[in-house]
Amino acid sequence: MIFITGATGRVGAAIIAALGPEIEVRGALRDKTGRDGRTQWVRFDFADPAGFADALAGINAVFLMRPPQITKAATFAPFLAAMQERQIRRIVMLSVAGADRNPLIPHHAIEKLVKTPDFDWTILRPSDFMQNLETVHADGIRYFNEIAVPAGNGRSAFIDVADIGAVGARVLVDPGHAGMAYHLTGPQALSFGDVAAILTEVLGRPITYRSAGIFRFVRDQTAVGTPLSMALVMSALYTIQRFGGAAAVTPDLEQVLHRKPADFRSYAARQRGIWVAAEQARI
């Protein structure tokens, strides 16, 4: 049985979808309200050790994801200690590209907690999610035909979340991945200018990219309800891209899945309805 934290999020849900029906899955919820019949749901909060026993009972492997509101690595220490007490060694952690080199983002310190002899760990460091265009940037594209982030002309090898889920499911179940850190990327590195150009073609209307300043980006994000801590982490990740830290295209995903990752144009064509123009949406 596998315990999935962040089970209702994009990556957690993608992992559950990619796991075979023969695999038992327990998913973490802040409240104990089930979401589907296949997954066993349990109330769970990293800040509440009282729920660890129910979450970890009978578990063989854990998928660990940092909730956006948690920025201190020490918050995860009691949960990792509970895993050690129950001799649960297999852990797959969702990190981000460049976390091993950037101590300013919380994933850096969390990786250090996980990468110990107590665990058979695997770290997943994906590049920017293509699906961020459906969430963080959706309103800007839909209503203002614009993407505004502090990434400059930096490039990122954007990846489809479904591909991250497929890798996560594979390494949770198959042997041979302990002690590995996989940098997961799409097939090509694109700037946000490139992304805007592809969306322009797919949507049939001009989409522009504006390289925003960090302070303005943080201000705009908090103005629409993004927690300040999350806005600052986002700024740090875009800064990595701005200075070339997210541009690498790796073979890691293809080595694990034995197939190529999805490309951005195919993703955009598949999801084009997400960005229906504002005037069309009102019809």
Secondary structure of 105-171 as H, E, C letters: CHHHHHHHHHCCCCCEEEEEEECCEHHHHHCCCHHHHHHHCEEEECCCCCEECCECHHHHHHHHHHH
Per-residue DSSP letter, 192: H
pLDDT at 32 > cutoff 70: no
Q: Domains plus CATH for the chain?
A: 2-127+160-185+248-261 (3.40.50.720)
Given pLDDT bands bounded at 50, 70 and 90, which one contains residue 282?
A: very low
Given pLDDT bands bounded at 50, 70 and 90, which one contains residue 90?
A: very high
Least confident of 21-35, 41-55, 170-184: 21-35
Given this model, what pLDDT does residue 221 score? 86
Predicted TM-score of the model (pTM): 0.89
Nearest Cα to 39, choosing from 69, 86, 7, 74?
7
Residue-wise pLDDT tens digits, 125-155? 999 999 999 988 899 999 999 999 999 999 9
Least confident of 64-73, 83-92, 93-102, 223-232: 223-232
Q: Which amino acid is at 106?
A: P
Task: Report the alpha-carbon distance of residue 212 to residue 130 in Å, rounded.
Answer: 19
Given pLDDT bands bounded at 50, 70 and 90, which one contains residue 68?
A: confident
